[in-house]
Amino acid sequence: MERVGKWLGHPREIYNLLRFKMGGGTAVMPPRDQDALSDNLKTCYQYLNQTSRSFAPIIQALDGELRHAVCILYLVLRALDTVEDDMTISLETKVPMLHDFHSYLYQPDWRYMESKEKYKQVLEDFPTISLEFRNLAKVYRDVIAAICHKMGAGMAEFLQKKVESLQEWDKVWSRYAKKLSDLAKPENIDMAVQCMNELIINALHHIPNVLTYLSRLKTQSVFNFCAIPQVMAIATLAACYNNKQVFRGVVKIRKGQAVTLMMDATNIQAVKSIMYQYVEEIYRKIPSTDPSSNKTQQILVSIQTICFPNGTVVSCNRYAPIYLSCAMLLAALSWRYLSAMLEALEEDV
């Protein structure tokens, strides 16, 4: 009954899950013909689908060669991240590996067989991925050289920004605890939640830049590719805000919510509307005990004003039609059947 109860509050999500399953998702993520691909590339797409549930469909929806390039780049970064995350690799081994990782792309036989991580196959079969990387690099040598040249300055700025961000984070958490690990202790959960809330509000400052970037994109598949992770991110931030469960387990957005966001975030107005609504959700969750609640409210309102300067929000059909609610009520009467169906739907998507 718990599963049905969870869904009853979100009838539109069930409708969208059904719509997605019955082909609604193909408008956003059209299926691609895999037959024309080389065996090597097919293997790479297989790894992509095994290692990423959320990025795999939007990468595969990209047009032409861009799709292959992003797929390979994703796998290279996934391999790098697998080394980073693997706590069974000693620091003496790990640090030089991370430093030298870029050179492994040009060593046809380099592979790593000692990882215990979930996605270790990308390290064990790295020769397949690096071969595709070198093939793409041959075709796009000039383009890649130009990007690398431009990236030189950009990367340095990004690195600087990252260092600044880390220092900024240090400043935030050190106001709540002497040591960062103190925040993981159950007795300090209130402080930990307040600290997390401040970091979430900090992250929202990037929304204007995100909107500016998205508004300049011209190709629909590229827009979807960029917009979908952003709306998933704001939905996740809203779910985490002032939520103690973050420190006790895993907080994720609902599958139906994810599918709804994927199908809605196809133009800049819809993205603004989604951002606006999740900022509003965070606003409603500001705890009355928060000492900086006034400041937090001001920040949230200013972000909403950036999304909609005139204050007119175009709703993304957030509220389900009345007939849908009635249908849900009827369905609830046979909740056993519905529960089984939802379980199957969640597994499929």
Stretch that binds Mg ion, among 56-64, 75-83, 123-131, 177-185 (CB under 5 A): 75-83
Shortest separation between residue 85's beta carbon and Mg ion, angstroms: 4
Stretch that binds Mg ion, among 79-87, 119-127, 252-260, 293-301 (CB under 5 A): 79-87
- 339: which 2 tokens? 């529960």
Shortest separation between residue 80's beta carbon and Mg ion, angstroms: 9
Stretch that binds Mg ion, among 35-43, 78-86, 136-144, 165-173 (CB under 5 A): 78-86
Q: Is 118 in the site for Mg ion (CB under 5 A)?
A: no
Q: In degrees rounded to 5, what are phi and psi of residue 319?
A: -100, 130
Of 182, 183, 210, 178, nearest in space to 199 by CA:
183
Helix (H) or strand (E) holding 50: helix 39-51
Q: Which is nearer to Mg ion, 147 or 159 (CB)?
A: 159
Shortest separation between residue 78's beta carbon and Mg ion, angstroms: 10
As a whole number of angstroms, the distance between CA 7 and CA 169 comes to 36
Residues 278 and 272: beta-carbon distance below 8 Å? no
Residues 140 and 69: beta-carbon distance below 8 Å? yes
Shortest separation between residue 279's beta carbon and Mg ion, angstroms: 28
Q: Which is nearer to Mg ion, 81 or 125 (CB)?
A: 81
Angle at 287 between CA 281 and CA 293, to 5 degrees: 90
Of 120, 116, 84, 114, nearest in space to 101 by CA:
84
Binding footprint of Mg ion, residue count (CB under 5 A): 3
Q: Is 81 in the site for Mg ion (CB under 5 A)?
A: yes
- As a dihedral over the C-alpha atoms of residue 247, residue 271, residue 316, residue 231, rounded to 10 degrees, the angle is -20
Q: Which is nearer to Mg ion, 53 or 149 (CB)?
A: 53
Q: Which is nearer to Mg ion, 85 or 157 (CB)?
A: 85
Stretch that binds Mg ion, among 16-24, 74-82, 233-241, 271-279 (CB under 5 A): 74-82
Shortest separation between residue 110's beta carbon and Mg ion, angstroms: 20
As a whole number of angstroms, the distance between CA 44 and CA 72 comes to 7
Q: Is 117 in the site for Mg ion (CB under 5 A)?
A: no
Residues 56 and 49: beta-carbon distance below 8 Å? yes
- As a dihedral over the C-alpha atoms of residue 161, residue 167, residue 169, residue 175, rounded to 10 degrees, the angle is -150
As a whole number of angstroms, the distance between CA 140 and CA 159 comes to 26
45 CB neighbour count, 10 Å cutoff: 19
Q: Which is nearer to Mg ion, 63 or 85 (CB)?
A: 85
Binder to Mg ion among 63, 65, 85, 190 (CB under 5 A)?
Answer: 85
Shortest separation between residue 94's beta carbon and Mg ion, angstroms: 12
Stretch that binds Mg ion, among 63-71, 77-85, 97-105, 318-326 (CB under 5 A): 77-85
Binder to Mg ion among 49, 84, 233, 254 (CB under 5 A)?
Answer: 84
Shortest separation between residue 55's beta carbon and Mg ion, angstroms: 15
Q: Which is nearer to Mg ion, 85 or 190 (CB)?
A: 85
Q: Helical H runs in 52-205?
A: 55-60, 64-85, 91-104, 121-124, 126-139, 141-173, 189-203
Q: Which is nearer to Mg ion, 98 or 301 (CB)?
A: 98
Stretch that binds Mg ion, among 7-15, 25-33, 69-77, 81-89 (CB under 5 A): 81-89
Instruction: Give the residues lining the site for Mg ion (CB under 5 A).
Output: 81, 84-85
